[in-house]
Amino acid sequence: MPPRNHKNWLKVPKIEHISSECYNNHSIYEQEIEHIFAKVWVPMCHFSEMSNDGDYRSTQIAHQNVVAVNIKGNVKVFLCPSIDRPAGNGLDTAGLKELHSEVKHGGMVWTTLDPNPTQSVEEWTCGAFDCIADAIDAEDMEVFHYHKAVIDTNYKLWHDTNSEFYHDFMHYFNRVSGFNDEYFARKNIPFDNGHVNVSSFTVNYEEYDGFEDRGELSFPNLPPNQWYMVDLFPGFNFNLRGSAYRSDTVTPLGPNKVLIEFRGYGLKKDTPEERQTRIKHHNSIWGPFGRNLHEDLIGVAGQGTTMREGTEARNILHGRHENSTIHDEVGMRHYYEAWGKFLGVSPANPLGLATDDVIAAE
């Protein structure tokens, strides 16, 4: 095949694709805030962050300040225009507008700005958590790690990184600890509402120089050294690697800027030794100084640079069909189908350009 010139490069591909305009257009970003983030269930924090009566925890959803409050052991969530601290105790909630909320899926506190949600959290997540439910719901969990990153990239590029697995080639750790037949047979499983989960395999941690097998510690009902992933629309990720559990929560700050909050979890009943082991295992891969997270964030920052506003639109191919196995782009296709429905646009032409403006494939 001859190298593509500029004209060929811009032609509509003959396989599934989306436009990079999904990632860098301010109008689309505003629509996402209004039609997606202001409508969906958001996992805003974990119950263990606010476990005492009167504890509160704040966040921002679709530009609105939101606070979750522990009121005698029950969580209530409110719009709170004047909240100025991330956490505390003793917030006066009189006069605040209450939002719908639930504590679900391993103790996450969920809320939605939608005053009339048509689905419960269970209905919204549609079974995407089933693969790890026995592990995260058997015992109370506790947060042991929190940090955040503000990255000049689109929030969906972070979610894409958690959805497509071919970026694993970027991780030396994954190349040596995981690239075997079992890894390549992992399945991407779509669920309604744009969610996807990824089936497990056995990670060989000891293949990385200096690391040891991690089978000594796991989660309830989870065989040792397994790795499951739940990618929840529109940008929330839950990652269970044997001994440690992680969640990522995105808050879009603009078409090319995102706040990502990272949390790590163990079991509330952990002994001090078990907790230390979980923290060490978590940090070695997922901590801010760990082997993989730094590489992932470099990757999406680079993507954000190449696709920032003002750059020429290009097509992002989602055409890999490999029986839903690990590098099949079924998860990406599924996500963007749901995304397009929420916004009423085609991800391949999200600005609705007239067909004359879109160069047809030969």
Rule CB under 8 A: say whether 57 interacts with another protein.
Answer: yes
Binding part of the chain for another protein, among 113-121, 165-173, 334-342, 351-359 by CB under 8 A, reads: 165-173
Rule CB under 8 A: say whether 295 interacts with another protein.
Answer: yes
Binding part of the chain for another protein, among 34-42, 180-188, 221-229, 281-289 by CB under 8 A, reads: 281-289
User: Among 145, 186, 333, 334, which residue interacts with another protein (rule: CB under 8 A)?
Assistant: 145
Q: Which is nearer to another protein, 125 or 153 (CB)?
A: 153
Q: Which is nearer to another protein, 199 or 283 (CB)?
A: 283
- Count CB-CB contacts under 10 A for residue 93: 15
Shortest distance, position 145 Cβ to another protein, whole Å:
6
Give exposure, 49-61, as e/b (b: 16+ Cβ within 10 Å). bbeeeebbbbbeb
Residue 202, Cα to own-chain centre: how many angstroms? 22
The footprint of another protein on residues 297-316 (CB under 8 A) is: 297-299, 301-302, 304-305
Binding part of the chain for another protein, among 12-20, 80-88, 93-101, 246-254 by CB under 8 A, reads: 80-88
User: Among 4, 26, 97, 148, which residue interacts with another protein (rule: CB under 8 A)?
Assistant: 148
Residue 355, helix vs strand vs coil: helix
Token digits of residue 346: 């085609």
Binding part of the chain for another protein, among 9-17, 140-148, 190-198, 235-243 by CB under 8 A, reads: 140-148
Q: Which is nearer to another protein, 132 or 143 (CB)?
A: 143
Rule CB under 8 A: say whether 9 interacts with another protein.
Answer: no
Site map (CB under 8 A) of another protein, residues 245-264, x = contact: ------------------x-
User: Among 36, 108, 143, 230, which residue interacts with another protein (rule: CB under 8 A)?
Assistant: 143
The residue among 195, 173, 212, 135 whose CA lies nearest residue 335 is 195
The residue among 310, 301, 249 whose CA lies nearest residue 66 is 249
Residue 88 is inside which H or E element, if any? strand 87-89
Q: Which is nearer to another protein, 168 or 337 (CB)?
A: 168
**Residue in the block written with tokens 């696709």:** 307
Q: Which is nearer to another protein, 57 or 186 (CB)?
A: 57
Evaluated on CA atoms 82, 113, 108, 293, the torsion sign reads: negative
Q: Which is nearer to another protein, 142 or 231 (CB)?
A: 142
**Residue in the block written with tokens 């209905």:** 123
* Residue 315 Ramachandran class (φ > 0 left, ψ -120 to 50 alpha, else beta): beta
DSSP assignment of 177-238 equals: HH-SHHHHT-BEEEEGGGEEEE---B--GGGSTT----TT---TT--TTBEEEEEETTTEEE
Q: How many residues bind another protein (CB under 8 A)?
A: 42
User: Among 183, 208, 238, 336, which residue interacts with another protein (rule: CB under 8 A)?
Assistant: 208
- Helix and strand element counts for the chain (H, E): 10, 16
Q: Which is nearer to another protein, 51 or 346 (CB)?
A: 51
Residues contributing to the site for another protein (CB under 8 A): 46, 48-49, 57, 85-87, 143-152, 170, 172-173, 208-210, 263, 279-280, 283, 287-291, 293-295, 297-299, 301-302, 304-305
